[in-house]
A = this chain, B = another copy of it.
Amino acid sequence: MKVLKERILRDGRVIMPDILKVDSFLNHQIDVALFDEIGKEFARRFQKERINKILTIESSGIALAVMTARYFHDCPVVFVKKANSKIMDPHAYKAKVHSFTKNNDYTAQCAKAYLGPEDHILIIDDFLANGAAVGGMLEICKQAQAHVEGVGIVIEKGFQEGHDKIVSQGIHLESLAIIDHFENGQVVFK
């Protein structure tokens, strides 16, 4: 997706050896017009799939999922939660996920009421690296016997293992910008 790659090159910042910071437009401040374009692009790439619900994980996935749902006839969005709150449904699908960014484990949870065998799911997330968060969502869909029709990612780190973990399960994966490697603090796309 050309406009996204240009934006990453212009406003993204590479810190530490392999962290790309895009919080000026993607996951702290949100460029709403760009998100609309991203939603439209996901709809184009998954137009042949039968999708009735979009699944994502808090927090950065939520805005992307909602803007994508606009292009799937305003289908519902369900966002998986990361922590246990006092009012979290005790009847929830659960998956343990390791966050490499925050270097901790959390339990991804989704109330059973909002996911089931009748659902044809598009999973949306901002980043794909090791595939931990997407793996947690796939595990939750499996528990719910929901059908995963696709996984849509905004930025994929093509040199990490998340990609293979997903496509080896026969799942339709679309990433709008795939990073091949970093070179002198710059992003090089595949």
Contact A19 B78 (CB under 8 A): no
Q: A30–B67 Cα gap in the complex (Å)?
A: 12
Q: How many copies does the complex hold?
A: 2
Query: Which of A31-39, A140-148, A174-182 lies on the face that meets chain B?
Result: A31-39
Contact B24 A69 (CB under 8 A): no
Cβ of A86 < 8 Å from any Cβ of B?
yes
Contact A21 B87 (CB under 8 A): yes
- The residues of B that contact A184 with a CB separation of less than 8 Å are none
Given contacts A21-B87, A74-B36, are A79 and B66 in contact (CB under 8 A)? no
Q: Which residue of B63, B70, B103, B113 contacts A77 across the interface (Cβ within 8 Å)? A: B63
Q: A36–B74 Cα gap in the complex (Å)?
A: 9
Q: Closest residue to A31 on the B side, CB-wise?
A: B76
Q: How many residues of A contact B (CB 8 A)?
A: 41
Q: Which residue of B59, B70, B103 contacts A59 across the interface (Cβ within 8 Å)? A: B59
Contact A113 B24 (CB under 8 A): yes
| Chain A contacts with B in 150-172, Cβ cutoff 8 A | none
Cβ of A48 < 8 Å from any Cβ of B?
no
Contact B59 A111 (CB under 8 A): no
Give the most central of A29, A65, A113: most B CB within 10 Å: A29
Contact A32 B69 (CB under 8 A): yes
- The residues of B that contact A58 with a CB separation of less than 8 Å are 58-59
| Chain A contacts with B in 72-125, Cβ cutoff 8 A | 74-79, 81, 83, 85-87, 89, 101-103, 110-111, 113-114
Assuming A15-B87, A36-B74, A83-B102, what are 20 further A-B pairs, CB within 8 angstroms?
A19-B86, A24-B113, A24-B114, A28-B110, A28-B111, A29-B77, A30-B65, A30-B78, A30-B79, A32-B70, A33-B74, A35-B66, A59-B59, A59-B62, A59-B79, A63-B66, A63-B77, A85-B102, A86-B103, A87-B101
